[in-house]
Structure 1
Amino acid sequence: MIQKHEIPILEYDSDSAEVIRPDHGTEQLVLPEKCVFGFLGDVIDDYARETNAVIAEHFETITKSYPIYIVRQNELEFCLCQAPLGASAATQLLDFLIACGCRKIISAGSCGVLTVFSGKHAIW
């Protein structure tokens, strides 16, 4: 139902029945609350392999299948996945992660780096 407001841009529809839900086909998937959403290429897969992460799901796009990992480390459980390049695909995957339970999401990347460095190190 449309919630009217004197300022039209603040009106919204309180009915959340989507045409296609972000978690369509994976309604039973529950991901950890914490998530690392990295624009880091192969570093994500390398780290997942090094930590024996479990693949919870694959997120399919037109160009690539993105594994969504669950990492258990030092009594902490978090979701880990590579963010797709491009706003549309990245937003679609982020929407999926939120629909499946991720609430505390941090993102990082290496765009704009002027010198070569190991992708496994933070730059401050």
Structure 2
Amino acid sequence: MFYQREFPILEFDSNTKAKIEPSNIITKIDAPEYCVITYFGDVINDLLQSDKLKQIATFYTATVNLPIYETVYNGTPIAIMQGFLGAAGAAAQLEELIAMGFSKFIVCGAAGVLQKGIQVGHLIVPDKAVRDEGVSYHYVEPSKEIECNQHAINIIEKVLQVDNIPYIKAKTWTTDAFYRETEEKIALRVLEGCVTVEMEAAAFFAVSKFRNVILGQILFGGDDLSGVEWNSRKWCNREQIRKSLVELSFKVCLQL
């Protein structure tokens, strides 16, 4: 049930059944329960070239089809696929993966940093996200922020601490419009405690909560928005950081 509001984004419907249910149109597959969603396509290509992956399914969209692969890490099967950019695509991707049978997820990628002193490659574990996108409002009642699954955060922190990997646990800002990250908005988000900005976390947290699956996220500090001018810091070229983060995500995911 929902009530008409002044703005459609606030018209949350508590009815758990939608006209198009993923479980009605997506075929369940014989797949492991663990899945890593990464935004590092180059790392997936390297694994593919090394014959470490086999394709088990495909995420189909009107513009691009993303293969879903299976590999073995420390003797255990685990899936990996490239993430879809933006909250709407990420939400649909997660919905279909859940319908296929996956239930434990780690998402890894990069994010813009909003505060000074965070080096390229430094890990950030988002424990909550500011909901400056649209998707989450269709899954969870309107609120300023949404929290990540606490069990997933606990496991991520445990692995990072055991391996002596420095990290920051902090709030992230999820926005649909990276070309509208103005100075005033950035300053406000920093004041609210946000350390990073990206485009998917709030949607991932909302969908996983709605579908009752476990999902955590690990980001590395990429481009820098904390200065007078934007600095890309060549974050897309940090190949070793990206490879290491995917391997770390495999390790964490299997402990969820």
TM range (shorter): 0.7 to 0.9
| Residues 1:121 and 2:244 are matched in the alignment | yes
| Residues 1:69 and 2:69 are matched in the alignment | yes
Residue 47 to residue 110, structure 1, CA distance change in 2 (3 Å): farther
What amino acid is the match of 1:75? G
Kindly, what percent of the aligned residue pairs are identical? 29
Between the aligned partners of 2:87 and 2:12, the Cα distance in structure 1 is 24
Between the aligned partners of 1:84 and 1:40, the Cα distance in structure 2 is 11
Residue 13 to residue 36, structure 1, CA distance change in 2 (3 Å): same
Q: Secondary structure at the match of 2:111?
A: coil
Moved more, 37-46 or 79-88: 37-46
Q: Secondary structure at the match of 1:13?
A: coil
| Equivalence for 2:15 | 13
Report which of the two has the higher share of helix.
Answer: 2
| Equivalence for 2:88 | 88
Moved more, 39-48 or 85-94: 39-48
CA deviation vs aligned residue, 1:16-54 (integer Å, no higher than 9, x gap): 4x4323255542423311110011123223224425311
What amino acid is the match of 2:39? F
Q: Give the C-alpha shift of residue 56 in structure 1.
A: 0.8
Work out whether residues 31 and 97 of structure 1, in 8 Å CA contact, stay in contact via their aligned partners in 2.
no
What amino acid is the match of 1:67? P
Aligned residues: 113
Q: Name stretches of at least 5 consecutive residues in structure 2 with no aligned partner.
A: 2-10, 113-221, 223-232, 246-256
| Equivalence for 1:35 | 35
Which protein has greater RCO, CA pairs closer than 8 Å, 6+ apart?
Answer: 1
Between the aligned partners of 2:30 and 2:63, the Cα distance in structure 1 is 25
Between the aligned partners of 2:24 and 2:31, the Cα distance in structure 1 is 15
Between the aligned partners of 1:51 and 1:106, the Cα distance in structure 2 is 22
Between the aligned partners of 2:24 and 2:49, the Cα distance in structure 1 is 28
Work out whether residues 34 and 104 of structure 2, in 8 Å CA contact, stay in contact via their aligned partners in 1.
yes
Computed over aligned residues only, the root mean square deviation of the Cα atoms, in angstroms, reads 2.5
| Equivalence for 2:56 | 56
Structure-2-length-normalised TM-score: 0.39
Work out whether residues 55 and 67 of structure 1, in 8 Å CA contact, stay in contact via their aligned partners in 2.
yes
Between the aligned partners of 1:11 and 1:61, the Cα distance in structure 2 is 26
Residue 111 to residue 51, structure 1, CA distance change in 2 (3 Å): farther
Q: Give the C-alpha shift of residue 120 in structure 1.
A: 1.3
| Residues 1:47 and 2:47 are matched in the alignment | yes
